[in-house]
Chains A and B, each alone.
Chain A
């Protein structure tokens, strides 16, 4: 489970950034996330939806302990991410659209590297690796260098790396954003599998098709603040426009 309470993240704005933002921006800091609260429960897919620059990635980076909150609390599997970030990371898998793989290493080396960092012993690693490799069809290219693989193959390796330690929480940060339809499907299938296995899944996206396909719970974030937080069914029930996309645009424009 992920619990986020009154989460705020403020970034200092550099002189160069102020120049880039133009004369309309007069401050020295900006709230990327402002007083955000939500809960992601096991066995359900929680979608974080928002336009570019809304604060989705910052929220997920805060959950994944890459950033520290300015205020508010986050717990992952009951562990406070600020007080014990290493323990929180043990319970988590993190996947982005950028495969985040080392071109000069092989899939085997990368997966083993992350398994070692998560403290898997040799037999647990072998068992888990074989299971994931078989499911994703990685065996045939497991010894080839990442730089020589297709983007689809790379994404499979990235999935294997994310779930090798069987995390109870999986975070997907726009994991399908830069992928083709075929490769996106493997991510979507992974999200579905995680839900079936009772894992807590949070994923950010701006693709409406994925929202309706996967969401159990939905949060819409705009300019760092939540403008909707509830189940996907609630969202559908309160829709004032014919499509999810139109409703999203209506809410964002009204905010």
Chain B
């Protein structure tokens, strides 16, 4: 058995027996993420339903006008109407939570309608509560009232209502469902797996370098008849593997979560399943590999530099935000994969994944992403190897 395999096997055994690594690599993405998604979706769905079914307390000031509106509001389900409240106290009633909304009909409303002008109705509500459901539900009643008035107006004038439409727009969206989904939701996918890839590689990187230095095992390992590069390569391969495994497990976790959430419409679920074809998965993973190599080399370099596990943790933990930032930029509208963004690490993976899921990836840009990632991975691995050869780094503070 060659030395690389021996070191890799030992480091991997040591790593998978570490509870912290296992927690970040398996438990968080496979159990906590689906659980979180499941609980959040359920809570959101149940509170939405609650808001829809809630009895809305509506104050009504008609000033003797809009009898039709009063009737519509009285007939509407889920509304409790309180009439003749002081119009100037509408805001304070809502702020005090005595009422959910107040409708104030202008004193000249009927006169304006009679003159075939627009009658004024003020709607007071608080948009910050219950998903803005108060406004949505009352607007539906008001729209119904307006429609009845408009219909009456057309009837009086003996006109066909359709004359108000001078053009008829027929929309033909040529984007496939996959493309629409990829461009909107596709950006979230790399957000998950890149973060988990980084976090999954983080603890093994800290443990296999700074941890070894702190425990004194690095010193004895360096006296074994193996080149330092082989030692580094064994450690590095384990960090890469745990990063990839974490990313894969996080995808599995999301998949499990999607299957568990019953609120997802069946057609959307069918589309998601359709996107998860072999080609898409292989392409996304092929992007992830060089990125993980870069992460692993970078994390190991910092860990080798650190004197202790704690120092490595304080050096590395803030970098999670550095990884999140380009992922967030990748989610912004208008940020597309182009010859410039294809060169920016992490952001290029985020944007390329979005394009791959949407099925709109351009081969030349994908090649540019690969070349930039492989170049970055090679340089960082070379730098890490050089760093590991340095006595000042290995025995820093010793």
Q: A residues touching B (Cβ–Cβ < 8 Å)?
A: 12, 61, 64-68, 86-87, 89-90, 92, 94, 96, 98-105, 109, 113-114, 116-119, 161
B224 contact from A68, A96, A101, A118, Cβ within 8 A:
A118
Q: Are B215 and A68 in contact (CB under 8 A)?
A: no
Q: Are A109 and B13 in contact (CB under 8 A)?
A: yes
Q: Which residues of A contact B17 (CB under 8 A)?
A: 104-105
Q: Which residues of B contact A99 (CB under 8 A)?
A: 216
- Sample 23 A-B pairs with CB under 8 A, ordered by A number: A61-B395, A64-B222, A65-B223, A66-B219, A66-B391, A66-B394, A66-B395, A67-B391, A86-B226, A87-B225, A89-B224, A96-B216, A96-B219, A98-B215, A98-B219, A100-B217, A102-B215, A103-B215, A105-B10, A109-B10, A113-B6, A116-B6, A161-B220
Q: Are A89 and B220 in contact (CB under 8 A)?
A: no
Q: Is B1 an interface residue (CB 8 A)?
A: yes
A100 and B14 contact, Cβ closer than 8 Å, known pairs A86-B226, A117-B224, A118-B224: no
Q: Are A90 and B225 in contact (CB under 8 A)?
A: yes
Size category, B interface: 20 to 34
User: Nearest-CB distance from B307 to chain A (Å)?
Assistant: 12
Given A98-B215, A98-B219, output 14 extra A-B contacts at Cβ < 8 Å. Answer: A12-B392, A61-B395, A64-B223, A65-B223, A66-B391, A66-B394, A86-B226, A89-B226, A96-B216, A100-B217, A104-B14, A104-B18, A105-B10, A118-B224
Per-residue CB proximity of B8-50 to A under 8 Å, as 1/0?
0010011001100000000000000000000000000000000
Q: B residues touching A (Cβ–Cβ < 8 Å)?
A: 1, 3, 6-7, 10, 13-14, 17-18, 215-217, 219-220, 222-227, 391-392, 394-395
A102 and B14 contact, Cβ closer than 8 Å, known pairs A94-B220, A117-B3: yes
Q: Which residues of B contact A116 (CB under 8 A)?
A: 1, 3, 6
Whole-angstrom CA separation of A100 from B215 in the bound complex: 6
Q: Are B6 and A66 in contact (CB under 8 A)?
A: no
Q: Are B217 and A89 in contact (CB under 8 A)?
A: no
Q: Are A105 and B13 in contact (CB under 8 A)?
A: yes
B216 contact from A65, A100, A161, Cβ within 8 A:
A100
Q: Are A118 and B216 in contact (CB under 8 A)?
A: no
The 8 closest A-B pairs by CB, nearest first: A98-B216, A100-B220, A94-B223, A104-B17, A89-B225, A117-B224, A90-B225, A116-B6
Measured CB to CB, the nearest residue on chain A to B223 is A94
Whole-angstrom CA separation of A99 from B164 in the bound complex: 89
Measured CB to CB, the nearest residue on chain A to B212 is A102
Whole-angstrom CA separation of A116 from B227 in the bound complex: 14
Central interface residue in B216, B223, B391, by most chain A CB within 10 Å: B223
Whole-angstrom CA separation of A86 from B228 in the bound complex: 10
Q: Are B14 and A105 in contact (CB under 8 A)?
A: yes
Q: Which residues of A contact B392 (CB under 8 A)?
A: 12
Q: Are B226 and A117 in contact (CB under 8 A)?
A: yes
Q: Which residues of A contact B394 (CB under 8 A)?
A: 66
Q: Which residues of A contact B391 (CB under 8 A)?
A: 66-68
Q: Which residues of B contact A89 (CB under 8 A)?
A: 223-226
User: Nearest-CB distance from B114 to chain A (Å)?
Assistant: 87
Q: Which residues of B contact A96 (CB under 8 A)?
A: 216, 219-220
Whole-angstrom CA separation of A118 from B7 in the bound complex: 12
User: Nearest-CB distance from A41 to chain B (Å)?
Assistant: 21
Central interface residue in A61, A68, A92, A118, by most chain B CB within 10 Å: A61
User: Nearest-CB distance from A211 to chain B (Å)?
Assistant: 24
Q: Are A102 and B395 in contact (CB under 8 A)?
A: no
Whole-angstrom CA separation of A117 from B14 in the bound complex: 17
Q: Are B225 and A118 in contact (CB under 8 A)?
A: yes
Q: Which residues of B contact A61 (CB under 8 A)?
A: 395
Whole-angstrom CA separation of A86 from B226 in the bound complex: 6
User: Nearest-CB distance from B237 to chain A (Å)?
Assistant: 16
User: Nearest-CB distance from B310 to chain A (Å)?
Assistant: 17
Q: Which residues of B contact A66 (CB under 8 A)?
A: 219, 222-223, 391, 394-395
Measured CB to CB, the nearest residue on chain B to A87 is B225
Q: Are A117 and B6 in contact (CB under 8 A)?
A: yes
Q: Which residues of B contact A109 (CB under 8 A)?
A: 10, 13
A113 and B216 contact, Cβ closer than 8 Å, known pairs A12-B392, A68-B391, A90-B225: no
Q: Which residues of B contact A119 (CB under 8 A)?
A: 225
